[in-house]
């Protein structure tokens, strides 16, 4: 299989690289310190076509494949895991759910605005008391005439506060019934729908996280995605693709930490020579390089299957698990290579490490990926 970057990928790679250098790098520390989500930067990414990168042109998207999407996320991750996470969540979760499972009317109504960046998207599955155990969700939707009344709360939701459109998974049937969960589109400003920002995160602090609150929120039946009771099935399919997103972002964070380490090791001298010439350091770099390359190959392999519409549950889990753990390893080694400097915010290593840790948690923990992989190989 050929994983050389195609012409579109090379173009997007350079475009994102130039954008990050100008619009993201100068503000990294400020956004991180203040936990500020730069909505204006997201809008600019929309102008570049990166917020609907695989959405067909007929719905206002760029019409590219998952190859270009993965390439963009890797480049963003090399600079800022927080901005990369926001682009990933917007594309693969909210926008992706409407694109893959929404009606034609829903696609025409919401996708052009999401793809352009006019709308920022959120996606709500997790609740305060249910993470991986989504079947025990307590948020409910009860039919009332031609509407549904939603009550409950969702937690750890990217763009929960700034999102113009949220796709939320709620219980419409019995507890623990996989056919008792449905997906709805909830628009910002709907009476009873509010959000509270979650602060104090370890990393990805430029990406907004919030709790969504539903207090007798009335949603029209037209905002139901697909059929009643199919929300859980839809969510599992969306998470398969979402894992490729996090794998790609992990590759970017890992590569960013690795490249920063190589640069530092060549410049930093001890005992009269660059520390890169010491075997202890060079072997660390070799391990980082090997794991980064393997992560990228796993990720592009999963993306290739996604492009073909083939089943990629197992391959997506491979990529997400390995790449996210690689990101943590590379972040940790970057701090070690840079020593005392790596422990300060003056150098990028500590931020790569902080951002990397979320990758092993979000969209299915490393442990859940092992569950998925073992289940697939033991069928």
List residues with catalytic annotation: 363
User: Closest by alpha carbon to 90, among 234, 245, 265, 315?
Assistant: 245
- How do beta strands 121-124 and 165-171 pair? parallel
User: Closest by alpha carbon to 33, among 197, 253, 249, 199?
Assistant: 199
- How far CA 38 is from CA of 28, 47, 85, 290, in Å, comes to 11, 15, 13, 34
Cα(325)–Cα(340) distance, integer angstroms: 23
Q: How many CA atoms lie within 13 A of 11 on its CB side?
A: 8
Q: How many CA atoms lie within 13 A of 213 on its CB side?
A: 8
3-state secondary structure of 354: helix
Question: Angle at which helices 366-377 and 313-342 pack, to 10 degrees?
Answer: 150
25 near 17, Cβ under 8 Å?
no
3-state secondary structure of 146: coil
DSSP secondary-structure letter at 48? T
3-state secondary structure of 154: strand
Cα(136)–Cα(148) distance, integer angstroms: 20
């Amino acid at each position: 299989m050929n994983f050389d970057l195609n012409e579109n990928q090379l173009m997007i790679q350079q475009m994102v690289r130039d954008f990050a250098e100008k619009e993201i790098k100068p503000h990294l520390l400020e956004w991180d310190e203040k936990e500020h989500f730069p909505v204006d930067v997201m809008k600019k990414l929309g102008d570049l076509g990166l917020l609907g990168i695989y959405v067909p042109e007929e719905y206002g998207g760029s019409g590219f494949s998952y190859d270009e999407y993965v390439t963009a996320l890797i480049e963003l991750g090399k600079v800022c895991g927080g901005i990369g996470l926001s682009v990933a969540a917007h594309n693969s979760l909210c926008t992706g759910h409407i694109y893959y499972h929404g009606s034609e009317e829903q696609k025409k109504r919401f996708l052009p605005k999401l793809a352009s960046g006019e709308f920022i998207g959120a996606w709500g599955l997790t609740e305060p008391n249910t993470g991986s155990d989504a079947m025990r969700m307590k948020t409910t939707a009860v039919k009332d005439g031609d509407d549904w009344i939603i009550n409950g709360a969702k937690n750890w939701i990217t763009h929960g506060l700034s999102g113009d459109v949220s796709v939320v998974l709620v219980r419409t049937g019995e507890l623990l019934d996989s056919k008792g969960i449905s997906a709805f589109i909830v628009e910002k400003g709907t009476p009873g729908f509010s959000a509270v920002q979650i602060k104090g995160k370890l990393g990805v602090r430029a990406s907004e996280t919030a709790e969504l609150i539903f207090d007798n929120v009335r949603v029209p039946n037209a905002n139901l995605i697909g059929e009643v009771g199919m929300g859980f099935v839809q969510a599992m399919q969306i998470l398969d693709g979402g894992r490729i997103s996090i794998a790609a972002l992990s590759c970017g964070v890992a590569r960013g930490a690795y490249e920063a380490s190589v640069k530092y090791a060549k410049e930093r001298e001890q005992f009269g020579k660059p520390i890169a010439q010491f075997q202890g350091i060079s072997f660390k770099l070799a391990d980082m390089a090997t794991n980064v390359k393997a992560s990228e190959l796993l990720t592009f392999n999963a993306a290739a299957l996604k492009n073909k519409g083939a089943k990629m549950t197992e391959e997506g889990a491979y990529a997400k698990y390995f790449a996210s753990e690689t990101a943590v390893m590379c972040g940790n080694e970057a701090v070690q290579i840079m020593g005392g400097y790596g422990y300060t915010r003056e150098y990028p290593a500590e931020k790569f490490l902080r951002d990397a840790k979320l990758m092993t948690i979000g969209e299915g923990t490393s442990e859940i990926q092992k569950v998925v992989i073992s289940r697939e190989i033991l069928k």
